[in-house]
């Protein structure tokens, strides 16, 4: 990376959190976009210093997220950089993701092990473990429904329980259990 780095964003998708970095040479017009440290777009010389750059992020079975970086002149030689994801501002996209995705990050076993990232896509009911969609099995229980899945190549049992909150605005509550112990959202379990 050069000293022309002007913006960094993090975008959470079911397959993981993607780091987007943008370099903009304000004298040469150079534009470089990095996704997770890899160059996905590069222009060395451009006469137009403002404009838009298009690229995609994410992988898996669903289409990747479409991204646009907008470069706008503020005043003099100052520029503003904004990121849109799937046609929404980054803030609106994050707001929407929090409604359709539930994410847990935790350790199963020793704290020295690699953390697990489990994502439930509420709209498709796909379950992702460390960036990969996993096979699931559904089961009806007295508490609600349980979606069972493998936690990588470990000997840990995992399931997501869906129960009604009893409140229309709250809707369905999703809880992750690993080895029959609940993992709180955003918590690291030792």
pLDDT, residue 186, reads 62
Cα angle: 8, vertex 92, 171; to 5 degrees:
130
Domain 99-183 bears CATH identifier 3.40.50.2300:
no
pLDDT, residue 26, reads 76
CB atoms within 10 A of CB 90: 16
Q: What is the mean pLDDT of each run of 10 residues along the chain (190 residues)?
A: 83 91 85 94 81 88 86 84 94 89 82 80 90 91 90 84 83 90 67
pLDDT, residue 109, reads 66
CB 65 within 8 A of CB 13: yes
pLDDT, residue 10, reads 94
Under CATH, which architecture does the 5-86 domain have? Beta Barrel (2.40)
pTM value? 0.76
pLDDT, residue 61, reads 52
Q: What residue spans define the domains of the chain?
A: 5-86, 99-183
* Distance in angstroms between the alpha carbons of the first and the last residue of the chain: 36
């Amino acid at each position: 990376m050069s000293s022309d780095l002007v913006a960094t964003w993090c975008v959470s998708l079911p397959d993981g959190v993607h780091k987007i970095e943008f370099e903009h040479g304000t004298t040469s017009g150079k534009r470089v976009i990095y996704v997770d440290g890899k160059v996905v777009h590069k222009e060395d010389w451009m006469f137009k210093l403002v404009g838009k750059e298009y690229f995609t992020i994410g992988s898996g079975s669903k289409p990747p997220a479409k991204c646009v970086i907008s470069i706008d002149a503020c005043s003099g030689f100052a520029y503003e950089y904004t990121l849109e994801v799937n046609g929404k501002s980054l803030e609106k996209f994050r707001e929407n993701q929090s409604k359709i995705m539930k994410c847990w990050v935790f350790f199963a076993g020793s704290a020295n092990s690699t953390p697990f990232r489990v994502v439930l896509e509420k709209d498709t009911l796909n379950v992702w473990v460390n960036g990969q969609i996993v096979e699931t099995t559904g089961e009806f229980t007295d508490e609600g429904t349980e979606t069972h899945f493998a936690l990588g190549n470990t000997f840990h049992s995992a399931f997501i329980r869906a129960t009604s909150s009893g409140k229309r605005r709250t809707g369905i509550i999703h809880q992750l259990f690993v080895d029959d112990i609940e993992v709180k959202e955003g918590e690291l379990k030792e």
